[in-house]
Structure formats: C-alpha cells, structure tokens
Amino acid sequence: KDQLAALEQAPLAENLPATKDSNQKMTPREIMIALSKASNDPDPISRSAVFANLLANLNADNVESVLEVYENMPMGFENMHEYRLLLYAWGKFDAPSAIEYINNRNLGMRGRFVATGALEGWASHDPQSAIKWIKEQDDPRAASIYNFGVVRGWASHDISGAAEYVTTLEDGWEKGRMVGMLTSQFLKEGFPSARQWAENFGDEDSLKASAFRNLSRQQARDNPTEVASWLKEHAGKEYSEGSFEELGENWGRRDPTAAIEYFEALPEGEGRRQGMLEVVEEWARKDTEAVGNWLNERSQSETPLPELDEVIGEYAREASRENAAGAMQWATAIQDEELKDRTITRVGQNWMRQDEEAVKAWLPSSGLTEAAQKAIVEPPSDDRRWGGGPPRGPR
C-alpha cells in the first residue's frame, strides 16, 4: 500500500518507465494507477507517451485493470486517441473481445468506426484471420466499416496485399475511402511508387479514377508542378478528370498565374474545365483585379476560351462577396442565358446584403423577369448558398 500511495503521489516523470521495454515488470495495478494519473495530465504529449508506452505491453493479464481506467473516460473526440491506442493494442491479441467491448457501449454505427482500431491491430500481423471474422458477421454495413481497420493494419506491413484486397470489395463510398488510405501509404514510398500503383489499374476500373484523384489531392498540396507534369500525360482521359480539379484547387492557391497558363494549354475536356474553374475560384479570392484583367484579355481574344462563360460566372460569384456591384457587370456579360440568369441572381443577392437601396434602384431597368427580381430581393431563408455563386454544372 505504501508503494502504491507513493506511486500515486509522485510526478509522472519519476514513476513511469521511459520506454515500453522498461515497463514490462509493472503489475496490472501499477499500470492502472499510472494510466489513471496520465489521463488527467493536461499536456497531450506526455499523456500520449504514457498511454503508448504502457499499452504497448497490453495483454490478457492486465487488460481488465486497464479497462478500469477507461470506465471513467468518455468516448468523445477529446479521448479518441487514447481509445485508438487501447483498441489497437487489444486487437493484436484479442480483437473480437475489444470489438464486443465497444459494441456494449451502445454507440450505434459510430461504435463500428471506433472498433476499426481493433481490426487494425489484428490485421497488422494476421489480416487473413481478421477478414475471416468479418465475413462471419451478420451486419453487412458493419462489416464494410470494419474493413477500414483491416486495410489500414494490413497496409502497414504489406501494402500490395492490402491493395489487392481492396479490389475484391464491392463498390461503395467505403471502397473509395480505402483507396485514399492506400494512397497515403504508397506516398510514404515516394511519388513514383504511388504513381505507378495508380496507373496499373485498367482504364475502365472505377478505382483508377479514385486513385488518381486521391494521389493528386495529396501530392498537389506541396508539389503541384510535379502533379501537373504527371497528369499532362493523362489529359483527356475520363479517369483523370477529377485529378485536374484537385490540381487546380491546390495550385490555384499557390501560384494561380502559372496554374491558369498550364490549364489553358491543355486539350479541351472536362479535366481542363474543372481545373480552370478551381484556379479562377482560388485566384479571385486572393486578387480579383488580376483575374478581371486576365478575363478582359481573354474576352477580346480572337480565339476565346470555350469555358469563358463558366469562368466569368465563377469569377462573378467570388468577386461579389466583396464588390457585388462590380461583379454584376461581369454577370450580365455572360452569353449563355441559363447560366447568366443563375449568376445574376446569386450576385444580386450578395449585392442586396451590401447595398439594398442601390439594388432596388437598379432592378426596374435591369431587364430581369419579375420572378428573378423577387429571387434577388427575397432569397429563400434556408438558402445555404447565400453569398455563394451559380452552380457550375456537372463536376
């Protein structure tokens, strides 16, 4: 008792072993007390270190003592890291019990996502047994979610095997998210390795588009020019369309003038269109005047952009956030009547927020229909795009 009392009162740095190897001799009771103290540590770094080191030696002999600490730990966002460590460690030797423990907390479908941590630990050393267990489950929705943990744990030591497993799963949003997880893992081996993996899918394989898009999103955040060079080889392909959108968004934030020049030089197609719209959106948020000057040049060109109307609509939407009166001049210059009406309505609603009297003075001579004028003056109260812009059409 005296030793335990001293352990409870001593600073963490004095009573906890520095590494997972040095705490193997701690009794279950000592582990419980140490974790309990750490759970109240306001420093997330030292708290995480304690949990990680102690749970690295979780086993059937001490798991019950550890669970006593978690009894008083709400399963909310603030404690998700500690729960993930518990489930991963528990899953390495008894994942079914760990999953049952979570299911007994009556968290519904959210509990299934939490339980993926146990499958991750299981699959980190025995993915086939984890898969066999999943196939025995009665709830197909839960089983599809459990696969997240299997893929994550499997990919940590055998990414090729995990990737092959994903191709055998039924199509769905879960499968797309797993491709994103695999993309992150492949990128740890370098962009050339990840690029080769994405390219190895057949052109008609739905996973190829998902792999391309995820890879472009993740790599373009820091190296947009590298992604641009790679995607140029795949321009005009249906599987690459979403990738150009990701590239446009990320490159548009960093260097919009270089990005727009790149997209203008691409062959016409959905990828070029989506990428260009993303660049203009990001560019207009930073420098509306520069975009306006660029649009003036393109509007007067002998070979105008085929996407010009949509680009103007995108620009007008963004510009109207700060200067709707000026943006309205661009909105009215759109040639496509349907897009023009939608853009004018959205820009007009922003203008109403900024200068109601000016809008009401302008409307009678605007040439807009009575319905369009009413939409500007009285926008729907639940309009989530208030201050937003015209829909871009298919994306």
Token pair belonging to 232: 């140029």
Distance from chain centroid for Cα 187: 16
Measure the CA–CA gap between 30 and 237, rounded to whole angstroms: 61
pLDDT at residue 387, rounded to an integer: 45
- Residue range 54-59: average pLDDT? 95
Segment 348-365, tens digit of pLDDT: 999 999 999 999 999 999
pLDDT at residue 22, rounded to an integer: 58
Q: For 223, which DSSP code?
A: -
Segment 362-389, tens digit of pLDDT: 999 988 889 999 999 987 664 444 444 4
pLDDT at residue 35, rounded to an integer: 94
Segment 248-288, tens digit of pLDDT: 999 999 999 999 999 999 999 999 999 999 999 999 999 99
- Above 50 in pLDDT, residue 58? yes
DSSP 31-69: HHHHHHHHHT-S-HHHHHHHHHHHHTT--TTTHHHHHHH
- Above 60 in pLDDT, residue 14? no
- Residue range 76-92: average pLDDT? 92
- Above 90 in pLDDT, residue 291? yes
What share of residues in the chain are helix, strand, coil (percent, to 5)?
A: 75, 0, 25
pLDDT at residue 9, rounded to an integer: 39
Label residue 188 left, alpha or beta by phi (over 0 means left) and psi (-120 to 50 means alpha).
Answer: alpha
Helix (H, G, I), strand (E, B) or coil at 336: coil
Give residues with Cβ within 8 angstroms of 368, minimum separation 6: 344, 376
DSSP 229-266: HHHHTTTT-GGGHHHHHHHHHHHHHH-HHHHHHHHHHS
Work out the angle between the directed axes of helices 288-299 and 308-331 (0-180°, nearest 10).
110
- Above 70 in pLDDT, residue 328? yes
Segment 173-190, tens digit of pLDDT: 888 899 999 999 999 999
User: How much of the chain, in percent, has pLDDT values that exceed 70?
Assistant: 90
Structure confidence at residue 392 as a pLDDT band (50, 70, 90): low
pLDDT at residue 6, rounded to an integer: 38
**237, 271, 278, 307, 365 from 268: Cα distances, Å:** 11, 8, 16, 9, 38
Segment 125-142, tens digit of pLDDT: 999 999 999 999 988 888
Q: Which burial class, exposed, middle or buried, applies to 367 when counting CB atoms under 10 A from its CB (0-12, 13-18, 19+)? A: exposed
- Above 90 in pLDDT, residue 329? yes
User: How much of the chain, in percent, has pLDDT values that exceed 90?
Assistant: 75
* pTM exceeds cut of 0.95: no
